[in-house]
Amino acid sequence: MNYRNTWAEINIAAIKHNIRQLKGILPNGHKAMIVVKANGYGHGSVQVAQAAVEEGIDFLVVALLEEAVTLRQAGIHTPILVIGRVAPQYAHVAARHNITLTVFDLAWINVVEQEQLNNPLSIHLEFETGMNRTGIRTKEQLTEIVHAVKRQKQLNITGAYMHFATADEIGTEQYDAQKNHYETMLQKLVKLYPDQLITHIGNSAAGIQYPEEMLHYTRFGVATYGLYPSKAIKALETVELEQALSLYSELIQVKQIKAGDAVSYGATYRAEADEWIGTIPIGYADGWRRKLQNFHVLINGKKMPIVGRICMDVMMVKLDQPYEVGQQVTLIGTDYKQTIRMDDVAEYLETINYEIPCMLTDRIPRYYV
């Protein structure tokens, strides 16, 4: 039930292209995990996961248990890892759906030990190596956790991983220090728990910058969607990515205002001369933030500035001429020979490109092309 004249188009072919590019830089025998958390970075987790599976991906990553269950309910049977902490009282949900959980504290295991799981639960241990977010910090903590797992039959350690803090920068000491610490912790784990394990350390940035140093799997997130983790990573020219999301709307009113007339709340913009103003049905409730005032959109391949404060549901742009109601407007994407990239929006908002597709709310319908 979509009646809106504002919409996003997700290019599945671009996502598949990006996956092939990313798989292609990994050493033989190494594999890619595709991260579809946050509704596939705003692109649609189910649709992206289906595309990934069609490209031979055999492991998916999400942040929330709900996200993993959504994939299972959509008929996706590929292994899934939840990298966020799931409260131990919901471990039975993960076990029932064959979802792998992340574990990094002894108390969690002690609670699960008192629960009755209908199926064994696979877990990956997360190591804290310098990100200081979550993870097992010391060998002593690791030893306690492994011994706690061994004394019960409900949990199986099937993998281990970490997160790099500075992989989007080129050649940092932090990267080397984290990698070395992880390898030390991994050696300890293998001695304590010699069962078959998989291990993954790299995100998009690490995988693109150091593909030969990645382990069994590399977790490709933002690059899957055609976005480079940083300008420095893009400059390496290791992979050629295609942006998968475009955002469109249309003019719903066109009017001429007089010199001195104000536009929108607070009268922050006043026309210096007689001007044509177009109204577009997208606003901050859709995730198109108020700070984007004075940014631009594309109409007929020409840049039109956003004038006045962006409202909850609409915004206004200054037109170079009168256009018909229904004229298409490009907010992200290509119009004739002009392009607005996620990076352009991110730079204007003084943030990272990761945030741009994630900030677009579910009021905006997604269409898959």
Helix axes 106-113, 139-150, angle to 10 degrees: 10
3-state SS class at 83: coil
Q: For residue range 319-328, list pLDDT tens digits in order.
A: 999 999 999 9
Among 334, 296, 288, 243, smallest CA distance to 41 is for: 243
- Selection from 207, 198, 199 nearest residue 229 by Cα: 207
- In the DSSP assignment, the letter for residue 136 is B
Task: Convert 206-221 to b/e letters by CB count within 10 Å (16 or more is b).
Answer: bbbbbbeebbbbbbbb
Three-state secondary structure call for residue 24: helix
CA distance 52 to 48: 6
pLDDT of residue 2: 84
Residue type (1 letter), 11: N
Domains of the chain and any CATH numbers: 12-235 (3.20.20.10), 245-368 (2.40.37.10)
| 347 token code pair | 């730079």
Residue 273, pLDDT score:
97
DSSP designation for 104: -
Residue in the block written with tokens 């969607």: 225
Q: Which residues contact 130 (CB under 8 A, 6 or more apart)?
A: 165, 174, 177, 178, 181
Task: Give the catalytic positions in this structure.
Answer: 37, 265
What separation in angstroms does the CA of 103 have from each of 11, 40, 128, 159, 317?
35, 23, 12, 10, 50
Judged on CB neighbours under 10 Å (0-12, 13-18, 19+), 35 is: buried
For residues 177 and 305, give the distance between their C-alpha atoms in angstroms, rounded to a whole number.
46
Q: Residue for token digits 């292994």?
A: 79
- What torsion do the CA atoms of 306, 308, 309, 313 make, to the nearest 10 degrees? -70
Q: What is the DSSP letter of 223?
A: G
The confidence score (pLDDT) of residue 347 equals 98
Q: Is 226 exposed, middle or buried (0-12, 13-18, 19+ CB in 10 A)?
A: buried
Predicted confidence at residue 99, as pLDDT, reads 98
pLDDT tens digit string along 251-297?
999 999 999 999 999 999 999 999 999 999 999 999 999 999 999 99
Q: Please give the span between the terminal C-alpha atoms of the chain, in angstroms, as a whole number.
A: 18
Is there a contact between 342 and 356 (Cβ–Cβ < 8 Å)? Answer: yes
Regions of the chain where pLDDT drops below 70: none
